[in-house]
């Protein structure tokens, strides 16, 4: 995933040389293959106590569902459309889409959604819907927007207007208003981010809608990759997401907040933005998704996790993550590391430590600053040990 490179996360030295995995002309002995995979698993597991900077919740276990590894589950086409082969987990996918739609203040009967491969795909889906609705509009985003938006604009050959951020890291709405005045009459497709990747800043959707109005009709795509499972449990719980009429689509990465062994994301939009036509006759399903074959396993795992936790469990997650973020601010401040956190964010930015520490704790870095994400698997003791490492005499010296 390129996010890693872009954020400057340095993956450790634990990966063996590619040769260890080279596929030969003849089968490897089964025991050797098992050993390689087992080693791979234990290496990744061993790093869990240091997994502080990467936005993925590692607090999950699906090992009771290993039977899934021996069946083929393919959600081809729209979740609500039956497909010819009937080897899907679509009823589970629909239940997941409905639950998350309600969390986002949408009405399930008025919302289209599916489980996609990643937050980036869900952003592309939403922007495609917005640009189809407003074909003359440009896409507007801030400099802190995730790079998947640039990628989406490039794929759609759409003009992207990148606006500065204000001092708090949110989209500068005055700059947006200026840009939209220049584009009067074209309409505007604006990306608002609920939790920017690096600093966790939360764009002000109300202000964005007002600022963009001089362009004409406004379509907002909400990138809630990380914030989508936090904001519902804050004071904005009942006003965010589809509660705002201009919000046409929404993306939430599920491996980030919920915790999943495979990346996946919810792509949601207002139902009227989707044309339901049978796209590929051989499939027999209508298909407004960006995939064709989609990982049915992701839907089963999501359904399992959400059924197991309930909405109350998600709320508990969010509260714990926010409490841990507060703890991190206090602890990093006591260590003189100038922490900064936006309200309702679980990202804590602080002074960039030595490289070996960034590597040990998977810290995302940008310039002179680094960040951690206090997802539910992050314990206070992990933050303590990070601070101890930083304060240790000689910590600033690069280590092997």
> Is 127 one of the binding residues for ligand PLP (CB under 6 A)?
no
Q: Quote the least distance from Cβ 163 to ligand PLP, whole Å.
A: 16
Place of tokens 């009937």: 86
Alpha-carbon distance of 338 to 330, in angstroms, equals: 10
Q: Which stretch binds ligand PLP (CB under 6 A): 16-24, 59-67, 191-199, 348-356?
A: 191-199
User: Which residues does residue 141 pair with via DSSP β-bridges, in sequence order?
Assistant: 162
Of 198, 200, 218, the residue nearest 210 (C-alpha): 218
> Is 225 one of the binding residues for ligand PLP (CB under 6 A)?
yes
Q: Which of 119, 130, 187, 257 binds ligand PLP (CB under 6 A)?
A: 119
Q: Which of 118, 249, 335, 365 binds ligand PLP (CB under 6 A)?
A: 118
Question: What length is written for the chain?
Answer: 400
CA distances from residue 319 to 157, 258, 374 in whole angstroms, order as listed: 41, 13, 11
Q: Which stretch binds ligand PLP (CB under 6 A): 173-181, 190-198, 289-297, 360-368?
A: 190-198
Type and span of the H or E element at 67: none
213 close to 84: Cβ distance less than 8 angstroms: no
Q: How many Cα neighbours within 13 Å face the side chain of 113? A: 33
Alpha-carbon distance of 163 to 368, in angstroms, equals: 22
Q: Quote the least distance from Cβ 117 to ligand PLP, whole Å.
A: 8
Q: Which stretch binds ligand PLP (CB under 6 A): 7-15, 134-142, 169-177, 189-197?
A: 189-197
Q: Which stretch binds ligand PLP (CB under 6 A): 94-102, 181-189, 223-231, 270-278?
A: 223-231
Type and span of the H or E element at 218: strand 218-223
Q: Quote the least distance from Cβ 259 to ligand PLP, whole Å.
A: 13
> Cβ atoms within 10 A of the Cβ of 381, count?
9
Contact positions with ligand PLP (CB under 6 A) in 227-286: 253, 263, 265
Q: Which residue is closest to ligand PLP by CB? A: 119
DSSP H helices, the chain, are 2-7, 30-46, 90-103, 119-133, 147-155, 173-182, 205-212, 254-257, 296-334, 355-360, 380-391
Of 230, 322, 261, 303, the residue nearest 60 (C-alpha): 261
Q: Is 295 strand, coil or helix?
A: strand
> Mask of contacts with ligand PLP, 62-81, x by CB under 6 A?
--------------------
> Mask of contacts with ligand PLP, 18-57, x by CB under 6 A?
-------------------------------------x--
| DSSP conformation letters of 369-383 | EEEEE--TT--HHHH
Q: Which of 75, 105, 111, 148 binds ligand PLP (CB under 6 A)?
A: 148
Nearer to ligand PLP, 6 or 98 (CB): 6
Q: Which stretch binds ligand PLP (CB under 6 A): 127-135, 193-201, 267-275, 325-333?
A: 193-201
> Is 169 one of the binding residues for ligand PLP (CB under 6 A)?
no
Nearer to ligand PLP, 56 or 387 (CB): 56
| Positions in the binding site for ligand PLP (CB under 6 A) | 1, 3, 55, 118-120, 123, 146, 148, 193, 196-197, 223, 225-226, 253, 263, 265
């Amino acid at each position: 995933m390129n996010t890693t490179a872009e954020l400057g996360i340095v993956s450790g030295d634990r990966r063996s040389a590619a040769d260890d995995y080279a596929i030969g002309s003849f089968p490897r002995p089964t025991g050797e293959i098992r050993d390689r995979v087992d080693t791979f698993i234990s290496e990744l597991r061993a790093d869990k106590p240091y997994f502080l900077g990467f936005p993925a919740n590692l607090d999950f276990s699906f090992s009771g569902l290993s039977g899934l590894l021996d069946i083929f589950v393919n959600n081809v086409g729209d979740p609500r459309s039956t497909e010819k082969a009937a080897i899907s987990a679509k009823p589970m996918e629909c239940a997941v889409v409905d639950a998350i739609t309600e969390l986002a203040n949408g009405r399930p009967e008025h919302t289209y959604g599916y489980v996609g491969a990643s937050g980036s795909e869900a952003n592309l889906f939403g922007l495609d819907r917005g640009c189809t609705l407003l074909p003359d509009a440009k896409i507007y985003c801030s400099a802190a927007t995730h790079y998947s938006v640039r990628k989406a604009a490039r794929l759609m050959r759409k003009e992207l207007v990148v606006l500065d951020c204000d001092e708090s890291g949110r989209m500068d709405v005055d700059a947006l208003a200026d840009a939209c005045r220049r584009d009067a009459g074209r309409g505007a497709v604006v990306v608002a981010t609920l939790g920017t990747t690096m600093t966790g800043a939360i764009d002000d959707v109300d202000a964005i809608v007002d600022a963009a109005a001089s362009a004409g009709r406004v379509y907002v795509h909400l990138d809630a990759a990380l914030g989508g499972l936090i904001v519902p449990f804050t004071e904005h719980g009942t006003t965010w997401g589809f509660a705002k009429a201009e919000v046409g689509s929404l993306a939430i990465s599920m491996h980030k907040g919920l915790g999943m062994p495979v990346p996946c994301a919810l792509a949601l939009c207002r139902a009227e933005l989707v044309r339901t036509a049978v796209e590929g006759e051989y499939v027999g399903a209508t298909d407004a998704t960006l995939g064709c074959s989609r990982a049915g396993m992701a839907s089963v795992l999501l359904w399992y996790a959400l059924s197991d936790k309930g909405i109350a469990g998600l709320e508990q997650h969010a509260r714990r993550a926010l409490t841990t973020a507060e703890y991190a601010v206090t602890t990093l401040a006591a260590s003189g590391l100038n922490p900064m956190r936006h309200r309702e964010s679980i990202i804590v930015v602080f002074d960039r430590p030595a490289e070996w520490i960034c590597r040990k704790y998977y810290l995302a870095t940008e310039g002179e600053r680094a960040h951690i994400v206090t997802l539910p698997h992050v314990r206070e003791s992990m933050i303590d040990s990070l601070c101890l490492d930083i304060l240790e005499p000689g910590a600033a010296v690069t280590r092997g």
